[in-house]
Structures are given as structure tokens and as C-alpha cells.
Structure 1
Amino acid sequence: MENYINLIKLSVGTEDVDNLALWQKMPHAQTPDGLPRHVTRMWPKREAELLNGGSIYWVIKGVIQCRQRVLRLDEVMGQDGIRRCAIVLDPELHRTAQALRRPFQGWRYLKPEDSPADLTATRKTEEPLPAELSAALAEIGVL
């Protein structure tokens, strides 16, 4: 049994993995020390497991396409005085085997055994399929 847990999150408005990387380089999407972060309202209850090697798997256009290691969780206070969680991420995006996911709110836990594998070195150099084709292939179980 694995001793870590992953998260899965929709990347709303993102066109592809490269677009996600560009967005994460914007100052408002980074911590003061320059790392990408995703701010969320809920603090993960399984924090210790998440920080023990977990990643966030990004769903782009209905398909899991990549992941990033979770480095730490920072407390962020909103202008409204509400405590939020900044999920601080490793800047490296690891492309994964694609897996179809229906829309959902917020983030969810994702067990390691249910997480798509990283692409092999030879597959990383392949041109990615268009999002619509990836989603269609994943829906019929080809990807």
C-alpha cells in the first residue's frame, strides 16, 4: 500500500499543458519565492499523505494530461479575511498517459493506483494529440 495521496484538479480555461506552464509563470500564480501555486478554499485533511510524495493531476479539456509534485501547503489570507490553502508546486510538469475525467467542483483525492502513469521518455517527444481527439480516444478506452 502506498503511503501518499494525490490530488486531481480541473485546469479551467487552459488549452493545453504548455498553456498551463505559461499561466503558472505569471506573478499572481506564484509564491513570493517564485514557485507555482494553486490557491483553494479548502485545506486538505490528508496533508501528511499529500506532502509525502503526492502530486496534483491536472485535467485539461476533460482529460488528465500532466501532473506536478506538491511541495508544501501555505496559508493565504484573502482580502475577505478567510484562510485559504496555497498548494505550492514543483515547476516541472510531468506529462502523463491521458485519462478522461468528467467535470467536478474543487479538487478530489486520487489514489496512486488510480493515477495515470507518466509518459516514457520516447513518448514525451511526441507531438501531443489535439484535446478533442484525446478526449474522444480516452472515452472509448484507447488512451
Structure 2
Amino acid sequence: MHLQKLSVGSKSIETLADWQETVVDRRKAAGLSAHHEHVTRMFPKQKDALEAGGSIFWVIKGMILCRNPIVRLEEVVRRDGVKACSILMESTLIPVMPTPRRAFQGWRYLKPEDAPHDMGEAIGDDDELPTKLMRKLVELGAW
């Protein structure tokens, strides 16, 4: 099982990667693991399935473009005293076949059979297509 989540504020895979690098650097400076962390209010009921090979698939400007493999989910208490879920992920973004998604709030489950396939190498390669071009190719049916 996987999750899909809007990457609010991200303009591209690169801006999401930059944000995630900042989060990982903060965690390492605090003596924590070098994983990306996303804290969410709701704790997924399918914890075991997510920890057994799940990923978060990121929706950027209406398209699923990449994913982070999930390492584990932990219950945490936010600064305001409210319980929440910390989703720890591998810090490497993996590009996937661009897939259109409408906006939604929070996160949604994504069945493995409905998940976009990986495109290949992890983000960081110089030959990656710009997000805008990938989106246009998908709209034209050429991707």
C-alpha cells in the first residue's frame, strides 16, 4: 500500500528535493536519522502495509511526479500537544511516470496496482526533463 500527498508549495521535483534536503539537514543537526520526515495529523490505519514497501507519491501541480520510500510511521506529539503521525522516508526522490491527479486535502491511499511506475534513476541526473515539459507530454498523450 502507498500514500499520495500534495506537495503544497513545490513548483517542481527540484524544489521538493531542496525542501527535503533542508528537513534532513535539520534532523541530522538535531542528532536524528537522515530520513525525510512528514508529520500529519491522521495516523494511517494501514501502517503495516505502508511499512512493508510503501511509498509516498508526491503530487506537484496536478501530477504525481515522484515518490519517497516509507521507512516507518511513528506516533509523535506536536508542539501544541496534539498527537500526530511522523512518516519517515528515504531521503531519495524517485521519479515516476507523470500521472494526473486532482487536488485533495491530506493524504490518500494508493493501491500498488494503481501506482505510477518508476522512470529510472533517482533525482539528481542532469538529463531529467523539466516538470513543465513532462506535464505537456502527458496532456498530449505522448508520454
- Counterpart of 1:62, as a letter, is G
The reply on whether 1:92 has 2:88 as its aligned counterpart is no
Cα shift at 1:141 = 3.8
The reply on whether 1:120 has 2:120 as its aligned counterpart is yes
**Which of 5, 8, 11 pairs up with 1:9?**
5
Cα shift at 1:17 = 1.2
Q: How many residues align?
A: 136
Cα shift at 1:30 = 5.6
Query: Does the residue aligned with 2:134 lie in a helix, a strand or coil?
Result: helix
The more displaced of 46-55 and 32-41 is 32-41
Tell me how far apart the structure 1 counterparts of residues 90 and 71 of structure 2 sit (CA, whole Å). 6
CA contact (8 A) 1:62 1:103 kept: yes
User: Which runs of structure 1 show a deviation greater than 2 angstroms over 4 or more consecutive aligned residues?
Assistant: 27-32, 124-127, 133-143
CA contact (8 A) 1:23 1:29 kept: no
Cα shift at 1:22 = 1.1
Cα shift at 1:120 = 3.4
Identity percentage of aligned residues: 43
Query: Does the residue aligned with 1:104 lie in a helix, a strand or coil?
Result: coil
What's the RMSD between the two structures over aligned residues?
Answer: 2.0
After the TM superposition, which residues 1-143 of structure 1 pair with which residues of structure 2 at under 5 Å, given as runs? 5-27=1-23, 31=27, 32-120=32-120, 126-131=127-132, 133-143=133-143
Q: Structure 1: 5+ residue runs without aligned partners?
A: none
Cα shift at 1:111 = 0.6
Give the TM-score taking structure 2 as reference length.
0.84
Query: Does the residue aligned with 1:42 lie in a helix, a strand or coil?
Result: coil
Cα offsets for 1:8-62 (capped at 9, x unmatched) = 0000111111211110122488642231111100000000111110011001111
CA contact (8 A) 1:72 1:89 kept: yes
Q: Structure 2: 5+ residue runs without aligned partners?
A: none
